[in-house]
Structure 1
Amino acid sequence: MGEFLEKSDARRPSIIVVGAGAGGVATAARLAAAGCKVTVVEKNDFSGGRCSLIHRQNYRFDQGPSLLLLPGLFHETFHDLGTSLEDEGVHIVKCEPNYTVHFHDDTAFKMSTDIATMKREIERFEGKEGFERYLGYLQESHRHYELSIIHVLKKNFYSYLSMVRPTFLQYLQTLHPFESVWGRTSMYFKTERLRRVFTFASMYMGMSPFDAPGTYSLLQYTELAEGIWYPIGGFHKVVEALVNIGSRFGVEYHYNSPIKEIQLSADGKRATGVTFQDPSRPPLSADLVICNADLTYAYNQLLPTTTYGKSLTKRETSCSSISFYWALDKQFPELTAHNIFLAEEYGESFDSIFKKHLIPDQPSFYINVPSRVDPTAAPEGCDSIVVLVPVGHLFDSKSDLHEGAQGKPGISQDWDAMVSTARDTILRTIEARLKISLGPHIIDEVVNTPPTWRDSFNLDRGAILGLSHSFFNVLSFRPKTKHPSIKDLYFVGASTHPGTGVPIVLAGAKLVTDQVLRHLGLHHQIPKFFSPEKKGGRNVSPLDVQQSSIVWQAFQVILALIMTYLLWTTFQRVY
């Protein structure tokens, strides 16, 4: 893998990547593989950002993501770098069932990639016709998935004109961006129960299913068609592998290195490097800077204040979370690897989160038990448990732990009180629905709240998933991968195009890499393993030749005859 570097020019473009999150380390590895000299500077003493681990005694917890979705985008990233997940020691296992969804009436629903399981589960509540409608739902969400991969995740949107590409516009209505996930799902499922089962995934983007564009049924589709996966050793294994690949290509990583600002040229028109918060450290210069820090934070804290930067603080953003990390001295097999507990007042719970920015009186919550699929996550006979409770984000970027709502009289964000309420509610809900008592077996606890998310990772308003994915926050409306006025400054991460979530950010890293290399005039030097695999190399059996339908074949024959006739008559007139 080092051959390309040995053949590259002596004067390699120097690039600084600010932030060692998934997008930052993936971009760094790609650029280094293409011959650039890359340095990554990271605020914390670990890589991955939210995609990192918490260790307590012999227990391990995923601080953020715990679901590996869209596995194809992970495999593509490693393939582009001339390797694979397996070769890098990343072993992913499939979780079955996907989830167990628990309702307030002591009923549970198992989500699975197994079609027989889904048939049985759906027919329990909606009968034979319900399963047929489910197949229709899969067909629509499949189209959402495939079209989004091709025309959104793998295409950059440089300006508003990018949205009028004919190849994109012809599919716009098919993607249902002007309808909600809830509205589209309700066309296929008749019971309130199944409508809830097939819409809660919108929370992956920190959005209410009543507001999220219908396109995002693709999230449920990838789970149902491709499954939910988990890397043995924790989700951070993926980031760790990308860091190791980058190191082999010569990337330098500087941890415990918070920066004060992105350094600009004298006229303020070009990024030239970074200055550190530690005044004893000299500035670091480079030909180009790529920022993987939270986008709103970067525009308002690392760059000169602009109207655009201020506008980002007013944009609709995702929710936050209260996350508990519990070490248990006992195993509870009643909990599967992934568990969803849905509130009885489903719609009202989303109003509390997204309109009042509080914790619902009866919150829905997610429980991950990594030790169920990975015994290394907890001591033998014990469980490590992560509980994520979606809550409202901070009212503004300067809100503190006990500050009330500025300009929102009568509403107060008392996080100590909300944490206490959340803990009690979770334990009572689990005991009522599963008839198990977790409380006496919790021997250690770590808690993340919106203020800690903000302080640990510089997340604007403590929003764990960055900017919202409402229609006017995606495509050409989403912040661009390149700064609009400062040259040699690019962005990668959750709040820039194409969006949030580790696999989506990895897709964004590929887009940014391509954009940067074109800008540097190095696109022709991309290593051969960046290129898509060429088809061929295998003898195709006649059994594998794709056949057109008889109707289509007849249409082609008729069309050929008409064209032949028109050409013949034209020939006669001319000659």
Structure 2
Amino acid sequence: MRHVPGRTDHVVVVGAGLAGLSTALHLLGAGRRVTLVERDAFPGGRAGRADVTDAHGTYLLDTGPTVLTMPDLLEEAFAAAGTRMADRLDLVRLDPAYRAEFADGSAISVHTDAAAMEQEVRDVCGPDSAAGYRRLREWLTALYRTEIDGFIGGNADSPLSLLGPDLARLAALGGFGRLGPRIAKLLPDERLRRIFSFQSLYAGVAPADALGAYGVIAYMDTVAGVYFPRGGMRALGDALAGAAVDAGAELLLGRTVTGLERSGDRVTAVRHTGSDGTEGRVACDAVVLTAELPAAYDLLGGAPRRPVPLRWSPSAVVVQAGLPEPGPDAPSRHHHTISFGAAWERTFREIVDDGRLMSDPSLLVTRPGLTEPGVAPAGRELVSVLAPCPNTAVSDIDWDAVGPAYVEELLGVVADRGLLDPHVVAAGPSWTRTWTPATWAAQGMGAGTPFSLAHTLAQTGPFRPRNLVSGVENAVLAGCGTTPGVGIPPVLISGRLAAERVTGTPAPVSSFAPVGAPR
């Protein structure tokens, strides 16, 4: 494994998002001195926060991911710095992980317990689908076991470094075939095919086009389990940052990195500016950049050449609203509800290829207050609606003009599908907050997407932008734009991989198996 040569005693980590915090904890555990520099006033990065106060009180909004899987990777990061996750985070396992609702009025609760899910499938879809689910679960588990250490959890210096028995096993499992057709062979019910393949959109690719290897994302959701931290998703950044500071890290918040000082091909210091205009400088022996990929390359003096241009994932519109808490006669509510429209393959063509809004949207509706009541005032609820949409590279939608009408349309669709009281929607929420591709772009995210680079074959594994930087011998990348990719589990792993590049010593392979997962 290639690593940073020379002295690496003091490392500056640019960005205190989940990747940067994971990097810091693993570096601290390896005996390095660490300084974290973060532009926001709080840690967490994409797992951000915003508080809204109305006449009823204060709502605690999570502005990033709402789905937490693979908490063993959090445990691994905490353990690197000599602390325990249980002492810093209180995680609630969600059951069901999701509630999937369909245009024909049917619904399927997605349980991660094998027996409970098999029974759910049998009851709703029949015995053939139940048998298919069992076979699918075995396949997803085999994919995970084959991929997690060598392909996802290891540093690769070149494609040749992946050659070996695991590559042969992955090929035999169908990892280089297409995900959608593979799942269709196992599951006769089209509703189940959606439940176990929609996750590929997290990787920026339609199920029909995604590599079978990305079934591992469905494993994380539907086998390993979905969790929610008490206090909201913001608790992740607070807990990891607290552990880093307690282990000796210096955390500089509200400081934007403005430049890197170099001597030859080594970075010698990081310059930063506060919101009040004060300037600062931190000398360093190495630097780990977890900023958005375009911003990181700008700091380094330019992006490396690639044989094909980078392709970005689809984006999303997220609407959050403060609403009256439904009465006792309201339909049952769930932490996560996936509301599928009648359309499916057309939906992916519209947002991935055509650059158009979904004509029959599939949506993720999240009600965090069902698990953590403290996120909304008494008698109120916080509702979040996520709608996938085109990124700014494939669409020229004027979001300032289109956004308000689209928000109204989305809330109307959710009400029409019985997930919100239509009278409340007609009267209007007490407030709404909206994030669009224009919002993400203003935050520096490439092509206006919070999901970074798509996981096409040319941007997967060793073909993804590398975490070592050509021409700068002591700079390393971490985060969703580099290896292994997008999502909370991959960015936590990316932090460990970046730390290994600095120290030159791979961390011990984790013995953790996700809670509830077969060993």
In the TM superposition, what is the alpha-carbon distance from 1:282 to its structure 2 partner? 4.3
Question: Does structure 2 conserve the Cα–Cα contact (< 8 Å) formed by 1:259 and 1:277?
Answer: yes
What secondary structure does 1:253 align onto?
strand
Partner of 1:461: 447
Among 44, 48, 54, the alignment partner of 2:44 is 48
Partner of 1:65: 65
Kept in 2, the 8 Å contact 1:12–1:35? The answer is no
SS of the residue 1:363 aligns to: coil
Q: Does the C-alpha gap of structure 1 residues 259 and 484 become closer, same or farther in structure 2, counting only changes over 3 Å?
A: same
SS of aligned partner of 1:481 = coil
Offset at residue 193 of structure 1 (A): 2.2
Report the Cα offset of residue 138 of structure 1.
0.7
CA distance in 2 between partners of 1:534 and 1:394 (Å)? 41
1:484 corresponding residue in structure 2: 470
After superposition, the Cα gap between the structure-2 partners of 1:95 and 1:271, relative to the gap in structure 1 and judged at 3 Å, is same
Q: Quick check: 1:246 aligned with 2:244?
A: yes
Residue-by-residue CA offset, 1:2-56 (whole Å, 9 max, x unaligned):
xxxxxxxxx9812111111101012112212322221111122221111122211
Letter in 2 for 1:426: L
Do structure 1's residue 413 and structure 2's residue 397 form an aligned pair?
yes
Task: List 4+ stretches of structure 1 deviating above 6 A.
Answer: 532-535
User: What SS class does the counterpart of residue 170 from structure 1 fall into?
Assistant: helix
- Give, in angstroms, the shift of residue 243 of structure 1: 0.7
Partner of 2:319: 324
Post-superposition Cα deviations, 1:267-286, rounded to whole Å, max 9, x if no partner, equal 4x222222335775244321
| 1:262 to partner: Cα distance | 2.6
> Does residue 285 of structure 2 align to residue 287 of structure 1?
yes
Which structure 2 residues correspond to residues 84-233 of structure 1 after superposition, within 5 A?
84-88=84-88, 90-124=89-123, 126-164=125-163, 166-233=164-231
Q: Matched residues in 1 for 2:438 and 2:348: separation?
A: 20
Q: Output one character per residue of 1:527-560: Cα deviation in whole Å (capped at 9) or x when no partner.
A: xxx757999xxxxxxxxxxxxxxxxxxxxxxxxx
In 1, Cα distance between the equivalents of 2:307 and 2:341?
Answer: 34
- Report the residue type matching 2:397 in the other structure: Q
Q: Secondary structure at the match of 2:135?
A: helix
Cross-structure match for 1:434? 418
Name the aligned partner's letter for residue 66 of structure 2. S
Q: Distance in 1 between matches of 2:173 and 2:18?
A: 28
1:61–1:370: 8 Å Cα contact kept in structure 2? no
Whole-Å separation in 1 of the counterparts to 2:8 and 2:340: 54
- The answer (yes or no) to whether the contact 2:364–2:385 under 8 Å persists in 1 is yes
**Residue 560 of structure 1 corresponds to which residue in structure 2?**
none
1:293-304 aligned within 5 A: 293-299=291-297, 301-304=298-301
Summarize the Cα distance change of 1:367–1:199 in structure 2 as closer, same or farther, 3 Å threshold.
same
Identity %: 28
Larger displacement relative to structure 2 (499-508 or 273-282): 273-282
Correspondence for 2:365: 367
The 2-side partners of 1:447 and 1:238 are apart by 23
Q: Cα–Cα, structure 1 residues 489 and 534, in superposed 2: closer, same or farther, change >3 Å?
A: closer
- The residue number in structure 2 matching 1:450 is 437
Q: Distance in 2 between matches of 1:533 and 1:212?
A: 27
Larger C-alpha radius of gyration, 1 or 2? 1
1:426 shift after superposition: 2.3
Letter in 2 for 1:363: P
Residue 23 of structure 2 corresponds to residue 36 of structure 1: no
Q: Is 1:125–1:191's contact at 8 Å kept on the other side of the alignment?
A: no
Give the counterpart letter for 1:449 in structure 2: T
In 2: Cα distance, 1:532 partner to 1:349 partner: 40
Deviations for 1:402-436, whole angstroms, at most 9, x for unmatched residues? xxx7xxxxx64121344234323322222222173
Question: What's the offset of the Cα at 1:59?
Answer: 1.0
2-structure distance, mates of 1:182, 1:133: 14
Which digits, 9 at most, give the CA deviation of each residue in 1:226-277, with x for residues without a partner? 2211001011212211111111222112222112223322x4x222222335
Of 496, 502, 505 in structure 2, the residue corresponding to residue 516 of structure 1 is: 502
Amino acid at match of 2:268: T
1:113 deviates by 2.1
Distance 2:254 2:333 in 1: 38
Q: Is the 8 A contact 2:132 2:187 kept in 1?
A: yes
CA distance in 2, matches of 1:117, 1:441: 39
Distance 1:513 1:480 in 2: 14
Distance 1:430 1:321 in 2: 16
Query: 1:142–1:275: structure 2 CA closer, same or farther, 3 Å change rule?
Result: same
8 Å CA contact retained: 1:53, 1:234: no
Q: Which amino acid is the alignment partner of residue 315 of structure 2? A: S
Amino acid at match of 2:76: E
Q: Which has the higher contact order (CA 8 A, sep 6+)?
A: 2
1:472 aligned partner: 458
8 Å contact from structure 1 (residues 163, 475) kept in 2: no
Shift of 1:371: 0.2
Q: Which has the higher strand share?
A: 2
Q: Output the CA distance in 2 between the equivalents of 1:139 and 1:418.
A: 45
Counterpart Cα distance in 2 of 1:497 and 1:175: 22
Consecutive unaligned residues of structure 1, counting only runs of 5 or more, are 1-10, 396-404, 406-410, 536-575
Do the aligned partners of residues 369 and 145 (structure 1) sit closer, same or farther apart at CA in structure 2, a change above 3 Å counting? Answer: same
**What is the CA–CA distance in structure 2 between the aligned matches of 1:283 and 1:77, rounded to whole Å?**
28
**CA spacing shift, 1:317–1:175, aligned 2, 3 Å:** farther
2:366 alignment partner AA: N
Cα 1:65–1:173 change in 2 (3 A) is: same
Describe the shift of the 1:483–1:445 C-alpha distance in structure 2 as closer, same or farther (beyond 3 A): same
Q: Distance in 1 between matches of 2:510 and 2:501?
A: 21
> Partners of 1:479 and 1:12 in 2: how far apart?
23
1:48-92, Cα deviation, whole Å (9 max, x unpaired): 11112221122112211111111222222222222221112x100
Structure 1 residues 175 and 485: CA distance shift in structure 2, 3 A: farther
- Cα distance in 1 for partners of 2:31, 2:44 equals 23
| Mean Cα deviation higher: 236-245 or 201-210 | 201-210
1:317 maps to amino acid: W
Letter in 1 for 2:41: D
TM-score using structure 2 length: 0.89
> Cα distance 1:35–1:333, how it changes in 2: closer, same or farther (>3 A)?
farther
Deviation of 1:469 (Å): 1.1
Unmatched 5+ residue regions in structure 2?
Answer: 1-6, 513-519
Separation of aligned partners in 1, 2:213 and 2:74: 21
Residue 499 of structure 1 aligns with an amino acid whose one-letter code is G
